[in-house]
Structure 1
Amino acid sequence: MVIIKKLDWYVLKKFLLVFAGAFFVVLFVFMMQFTWRYVDDLIGKGLSFDILAKFYWYMAQTLVRDSLPLSVLLASLITFGNMGESFELLAMKAAGIPLIRIMRPLAIFAAFLTGTSFYFQNFTSPDAQINMRTLLFSMKEQSPAVEIPEGVFYNGVPNINIYVQRKNTLTGMLYQTIIYKTDQGFDRAQIVLADSARLEVTRDKMHLRLELWNGEQFESLESSGGAATQMMQNGAHEPFDRETFRFKTLLIDFDSNFNLMDKSLIAGMPTAKNMKQIQQSVDSMNAELDSVGRQYYKDACVTYYRRPQLPAKDSVALLNLLRSRQGQSTLAFDTIVAHADPQKLQMARQIALSSVKSVSADLEWKAMGADQEQRSLLGHEVEWHNKITYSLACLLFFFVGAPLGAIIRKGGLGMPTVISVAIFIVWYIIYTSGMKMARDGNINMVLGMWISTMVIAPFSVFFTYKANKDSVVFNIDAYKHFFVRLFGLRTSRHIFRKEVIIDEPRLDKLPAEIEALIAACKAYNEKTKLLRAPSYVNVFFHHVPDRVAEQIDEQMERIVEELSNSRNRVVLEVLNRYPILYTHAHTSPFDKKWANVAAGLFVPLGIVLWFRIWRFRLRLYRDMRVIVRTSEQLLALLQGNALVEEGDTVTDGAAVSPSGSIIQRWALNRRVVITLLVAILLVVAGYGGWHAWRRYQYKRYMQEHGELMPNTPKQPDGGVAPGQMPLGNGAPLPLRLPQQAP
């Protein structure tokens, strides 16, 4: 007997509450999106409430498949984000419960949802698809409700245009009405003018009854008679009939009933079948395509690729005749054509051309039928795979959302909603692209339908593993540090004055350490020759760490750490000028020997890394000089007794001289100027290249269209040279003339 523990009930209750809300919200969004696709076919049709209720009920059943994956992703992300933000996950892990154990009841529920989704798609959704599509197509064919606006002509009634200047919505009266009737044809058009009118629908909803008061009716008479024709030829106007009335009733055919179309017309769609029916349809279509293909092949062998077959004795006689004439001279086909009768040649060409056109039309018709059958077959196979991939997406999205929520530790509807929608959109784009390519036959069916699952499955495993190991996947500082080291971005120190200082700096011993640091930096710059280009072989194949630079960095960091306890703001400002050294970036690109060797053997990558190392060597040379200059300023502060009292301002020339800041400002300005110059040069070069490419494309286009033909002879009077035919735009088109025999 399986005992559900309180922890499982607690996690399930938190998840189910969020999942229920997320599911109905997502379902509502999908229903609104589907409604907006067909809003033009629904509005203005006078549909009753029960028809709309049925339509939305069947729509909701068909959209359960689309709503479940996103709901599971959103609910799992919010649930575990809330528990991580409120430190509930931390408390569970502190009690010795791993994340996989916390996720176990929800994983079982996600598997249950996977089965539920499959059941809906295989048993409930096909019937709902038939009913919904039947209602939708019937709504499209439904006649619109008569709602005549004011001041414009209304053509919602077939063969009638109605204009109303003013209407009373309470009584339904229409005033100053103009009616154009073309139900008898445009040559017998009728125009009705009425002072007032009223429009009603009959009880059977098959006609419109239009009651008119105080008006006139004009009808054009046919002008096919002899007298009327003679009158019009003599300049008279076309005759018409005029009728004046005080009250008149017009009965107009208008079917406003809702007629439901036959469901059997929809039953053949792939979405209206379960997996068993789809498999039966696929087998029958494959058999039909094979039989049709074999029949087409037999027809082609009989008609298009037919060979004359002679009886046995005729074949032997023909073979003997050919052997006897083997040594005789033969005539070329061109010679026979040249000496043939022109009329017979023209007739033969016409017969051959008509035969080719007939064969081409027959093949195109057969290809069109086969292609339509093939597209129907691919559509059935796509729907068969859809029922599995959408169901499996519920389980995969849970193993993406739950660990992701535990990692980011953000609850609520803000960040989780953004992340879940972004993940779902990426998955849906991949799924739709693969599905369309598979449906069109561009890629394999299995690959196209399962590529989205292949993409999301590794991420679900990766996020679950990282969350269970408490790995920091979305730590922005870690990625920032990685890119800073990768691109060699400059970082600066930020040392602030401490409120409480426990260990005071050793002012008696620090000057000696600073002097030793200055001497070490000067000796290092003189010995290593950092301004020279590094050796390619030494960089990639003989990696030696720079221990001296590491020792200088450690010595500088000790001085900075000790003097950061100073109360003097000037000292803290000088400490911020010390650079942050990269003591490994100027020797080799990687710490492992095999990685350096591989990068060195791959010459294009090796050259890029070699320039990067040279850049870091130049930076290290400048950093050493900055360390010397900053250490001298700091030494002057210490030796000049600038640390006597807190808040004193330093008057020593070496300490307060703005040369350091001026040099730094000048170096910064120089970098900015160089960067701007390089950017301007790149923009100019890019524009020049783009302009040259456009010019080349223009010349090529002009040459291809005959508007700029090199070496084209022209007549002195501007006419067309021999061997050319003018186009519609005046450009000559070169023709290949037949060569005359010598």
Structure 2
Amino acid sequence: MKTIHRLVLKSYLGPMILTFFIVMFVLMMNFVWRYIDDLVGKGLSAGIIIELMSYAMVNMIPMGLPLAMLLAAIMTMGNLGENYELLAMKSAGMSLPKIMKPLIYLVTVVAIGSFFVINNLVPYANKKMYSTMYDIKRQQQTIEFQDGLFFNGIKDMSIRVGHQSPETGLLSDVLLYDNQAANGNMTTTIADSGYIRLSDDKLFLLVTLFHGERYEQTRNSQWYSKSSFNHYTFDQYKSSFPVEGFSMERSDADNFNNSTTKNIRELQHEIDSLEVQVNSATTRSYEPLLKEQLFSKDPTVMILPDSLVVDRSGFRLIDAIDSIALLGIRDKDKLWDQARTHAKSSRNMFSFDESQAKDALNKLYRSKVEWHRKISLPVSIMIFFLIGAPLGAIIRKGGLGMPIVISVIFFVFYYIISISGEKMAKEGSWEAIYGMWISTIILTPIAIYLTYKATNDSGLLDVDWYVGKWKKLTERLRTIVRKKQNT
């Protein structure tokens, strides 16, 4: 490797790693902001939170990597141009493509690696993230008492405290309704003070009360003949109650399968199966509905031989239609009721197959979108680099100021187009290949144009260049106007 190429490669690696972690941090903050309500108050351990964040970070790589490559390319080439290093390389006879040669190799390796990440690592991370989020949402919040309010987070139990000391956790004026007994009896406990907390494994509620009374009332099926009411006082009362939902119960991640949790081979298998299912359900639903139920005697829908155009009474179809006009009002109304009932029964008969076809069609659209997403990511990384590197060579500004502004503008433009195309593809308005590749199709000419301009040292962002072009255009228009006036 040449020394100059080593210099360019070293100048790019630092900003690439830095911008990647900055972008991932911003995206992670967005994830935390979206799911903060589901994470707070559950008593989650640091290991669970770190695990969830790791899965979410892997899931964000397809979005963060193209933006990081764009920002790093603009910063690197902008720094080289601002420090006149790029000018020195060009003065030595090196063209811009030759200067970018080691970076192109590096970005190609990153793009190929990104395919394996989105094809293998991201589906696994999505599956684990969905199962972890489900377990977190299913887990109940920790016990938090509010002064004077009932806590009903435990099944068949209600607890009210007058005040809880924030320093010691001591509860005062405790009222506890317990209806967990298997025989249906309800126990009411009143105490001056005490402690109520979850066990370390969060499977039991540990209750320690001081100076109180207990009332037990018979509420089983024999309350009307053998009812009883027991009452006793205590100085200290200790008990434990089994509780559910407070511990972290892990679900099987394989139960959370959708298009985002499959690799490209599994998606292709699913697409082939869904296409067969959609065609079968559609044929099974609409064709019999049209040809056998609603238009069974209409030769324009299904061409019938002459022998089938005659009904059981021996009348031809045209004769039966003409005879309707001769019927009385009651007969017409009766005939209309029969036709309407027949249409409703036909609709009910095939509505189930129709819903199956629609569901399979939605799954088919989403599977195709995910299939093309895995292919389009490596290409988008190359496109963003080919936009950022020439653009940085043109603007010749390094740092995090101008590069961030330009990168955000391009990425927002790319993101809006991608989201719009993906939405159209998922709805079936567009083919998946058009919806997922439209952003690449639009940005590719921009990348080629910027590369051409940077190679030829164009003043693309030079204000004086645009002023000169404007003056030439206005002068030409004035000359044309004068010639027309003279003629």
TM-score between both structures, scaled by the size of structure 2: 0.84
Which of 94, 105, 109 is residue 108 of structure 1 equivalent to? Answer: 105
For the Cα contact (< 8 Å) 1:11–1:102, is it kept in 2?
A: yes
Aligned-partner Cα distance in 2 for 1:412–1:84? 12
Give the Cα–Cα distance (whole angstroms) in 1 for the partners of residues 475 and 33 of structure 2: 62
Q: Does 1:338 align with 2:325?
A: no
Contact kept, 8 Å, 1:207 with 1:255, in 2: the verdict is no
CA contact 2:81–2:87 (8 Å) conserved in 1: yes
Q: Give the Cα–Cα distance (whole angstroms) in 1 for the partners of residues 167 and 176 of structure 2.
A: 22
The structure whose RCO (Cα within 8 Å, separation 6+) is larger is 2
2:375 is equivalent to residue 401 of structure 1: no
Check whether the contact 2:369–2:425 (CA below 8 A) recurs between aligned residues. Answer: yes
Q: Distance in 2 between matches of 1:313 and 1:439?
A: 44
- Provide the residue aligned with 1:264 in structure 2: 254
Call closer, same or farther: CA 1:482–1:94 in 2, change over 3 Å.
Answer: closer
Matches within 5 A, 1:203-602: 205-216=202-213, 243=231, 245-246=233-234, 247-248=236-237, 249=239, 251-266=241-256, 268-297=257-286, 299-300=288-289, 301-307=291-297, 333=324, 335-338=326-329, 340=331, 345=333, 351-479=338-466, 585-588=477-480
Q: 1:210 to 1:353 in 2, by over 3 A?
A: farther
Structure-2 residue corresponding to 1:10: 7
CA positional deviation for 1:414: 0.9
Deviation per residue, 1:391-413 (Å, 9 max, x gap): 11111111111111111111111
Q: Residue deviations 1:201-246, cap 9 Å, x none?
A: 3465322132333345678887999999xxxxxxxxxx99684533
CA distance in 1, matches of 2:129, 2:151: 31
* Change in 2 beyond 3 A, CA 1:360/1:334: same
Aligned CA distance change for structure 1 residues 307 and 241 (closer, same or farther; 3 Å) = farther
Write out per-residue CA displacement over residues 8-35 of structure 1, whole angstroms, 9 at most, x where no aligned residue: 0000001001111111111222222223
One-letter amino acid matched to 1:86: N
Alpha-carbon distance, 1:317 to partner: 11
Instruction: Look up the SS of the partner of 2:25 in the other structure.
Output: helix
Distance in structure 2 (CA, Å) of the matches to 1:226 and 1:280: 62
Contact 1:218–1:240 (CA<8 Å) still a contact in 2?
no
Indicate how the Cα distance of structure 1 residues 142 and 12 shifts in structure 2: closer, same or farther if over 3 A, else same.
same
Paired with 2:305 and 2:390, the residues of 1 have a C-alpha distance of: 80
| Distance in 1 between residues matched to 2:472 and 2:232, nearest whole Å | 95
In structure 2, distance between residues paired with 1:46 and 1:339: 73
How many angstroms does 1:159 deviate by? 4.4
Q: 2: distance between equivalents of 1:75 and 1:358?
A: 64
Calculate percent identity across the aligned residue pairs: 32
Give the match for residue 517 of structure 1: none
The whole-number CA distance in structure 2 between the counterparts of 1:314 and 1:456 is 60
Measured in 2, the distance between the counterparts of 1:226 and 1:395 equals 78
Closer, same or farther in 2 for the Cα pair 1:310/1:107, shift >3 Å?
closer
Partner in structure 2 of residue 608 of structure 1:
none
CA contact (8 A) 2:297 2:309 kept: no
Q: Tell me the residue number matched to 2:41.
A: 44
Pick closer, same or farther for the CA change 1:277–1:315 going to 2, 3 Å. closer
Q: CA deviation at 1:314?
A: 12
1:158 alignment partner, SS class: coil
**1:339 and 1:12, CA in 2 relative to 1: closer, same or farther beyond 3 A?**
closer
Partner of 1:559: none
Q: Normalising by structure 1, report the TM-score.
A: 0.57
Letter in 1 for 2:285: Y
Q: Distance in 2 between matches of 1:46 and 1:157?
A: 16
Aligned to 1:569: none
Q: In the alignment, which residue of structure 1 is the partner of 2:125?
A: 128
**Equivalent AA in structure 2 for residue 62 of structure 1:** N
CA contact (8 A) 1:200 1:209 kept: yes
d(CA) in 1 for partners of 2:180, 2:482: 87
What CA distance in whole angstroms lies between the structure 1 residues aligned with 2:201 and 2:476? Answer: 92
Partner of 1:512: none
Question: Residues 647-658 of structure 1 correspond to what in structure 2 (within 5 A)?
Answer: none
Which consecutive residues of structure 2, in runs of 5 or more, have no partner in the other structure?
A: 299-303
In structure 2, what is the Cα distance between the partners aligned to 1:316 and 1:422? 70
Aligned counterpart, 2:93: 96
2:195 aligned residue: 198
Change (3 A) 1:339 1:23: closer
Shift of 1:460: 0.7
Which residue, 157, 164, 168 being the options, matches 1:167? 164
Give the match's secondary structure for 2:50. Answer: helix
> Do the aligned partners of 2:285 and 2:350 also contact (CA within 8 Å) in 1?
no
- Judging changes above 3 Å, is the alpha-carbon distance between structure 1 residues 583 and 465 closer, same or farther for their aligned structure 2 residues? closer
Distance, in Å, in 1 between the alignment partners of 2:388 and 2:337 is 71
**Counterpart code for 2:344:** K
- CA, structure 1 residues 177+482, in 2 after alignment: closer, same or farther (shift >3 Å)? farther
1:67-86 matches, cutoff 5 A:
67-86=64-83
> Helix, strand or coil for the counterpart of 2:347?
helix
Tell me which amino acid in the other structure corresponds to 2:387: V
**Displacement after TM superposition at 1:122 (Å):** 1.6
Deviation of 1:128 (Å) = 2.1
CA-CA distance at 1:43 after TM superposition: 1.8
Kept in 1: contact 2:281–2:354 (CA 8 A): no
Work out whether 1:145 is the aligned partner of 2:142: yes
Secondary structure at the counterpart of residue 192 of structure 2: strand
In the superposition, relative to structure 1, how do residues 355 and 177 fare at CA in structure 2: closer, same or farther (>3 Å)? farther
Q: Which runs of 5+ in 1 are unaligned?
A: 229-238, 487-581, 597-612, 615-742
Letter in 1 for 2:329: A
Partner Cα separation in structure 1 for residue 472 and residue 402 of structure 2: 29
Give me the whole-angstrom Cα distance separating, in 2, the residues matched to 1:108 and 1:72. 13
Cα distance in 2 for residues equivalent to 1:372 and 1:37: 28
Change (3 A) 1:391 1:316: closer
* Equivalent AA in structure 2 for residue 459 of structure 1: I
User: Could you tell me which amino acid in structure 1 is paired with residue 206 of structure 2?
Assistant: R
Partners of 1:350 and 1:316 in 2: CA distance: 20
Please give the per-residue CA displacement for 1:521-572, whole angstroms capped at 9, x wherever unaligned: xxxxxxxxxxxxxxxxxxxxxxxxxxxxxxxxxxxxxxxxxxxxxxxxxxxx
Compared CA separation, residues 414 and 332, structure 1 to 2 (3 A): same
- Tell me which moved more, 292-301 or 444-453: 292-301
How many angstroms apart in 1 are the aligned matches of 2:482 and 2:424? 42
CA-atom RMSD in angstroms:
3.9
SS in 2 for 1:162: strand
